[in-house]
């Protein structure tokens, strides 16, 4: 699973970082960045939660 944030959609709310700080990081430019592109399977649940909770559906996952 490779998480991706669409920076054209992200509004910098920080929900993804709160949900899975091992993978998402909010930076000074007000956008969320993926800091771990090959997360371990233990994080998949949190990543899916972040996908579901993002208010603008900016997060997608490649490869399942």
Q: Binding residues for ligand SF4, how many (CB under 6 A)?
A: 15
Q: Is 59 in the site for ligand SF4 (CB under 6 A)?
A: yes
What residues contact 62, with CB distance under 8 A and at least 6 apart? 1, 2, 4
Return the residue of 3, 15, 20, 39 that touches ligand SF4, per CB under 6 A: 15
State how beta strands 32-34 and 59-62 pair: unpaired
DSSP state of 15: H
- When asked if residue 4 is in the footprint of ligand SF4 (CB under 6 A), the reply is no
Binding residues for ligand SF4 (CB under 6 A): 5, 10-16, 26, 32, 54-56, 58-59
């Amino acid at each position: 699973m490779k998480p991706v944030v669409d920076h054209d959609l992200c509004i910098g709310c920080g929900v993804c970082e709160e949900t899975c700080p091992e993978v998402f990081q909010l930076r000074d430019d007000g956008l969320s960045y993926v800091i771990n592109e090959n997360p371990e399977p233990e994080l998949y649940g949190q990543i899916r939660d972040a996908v579901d909770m993002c208010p603008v559906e900016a997060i997608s996952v490649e490869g399942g």
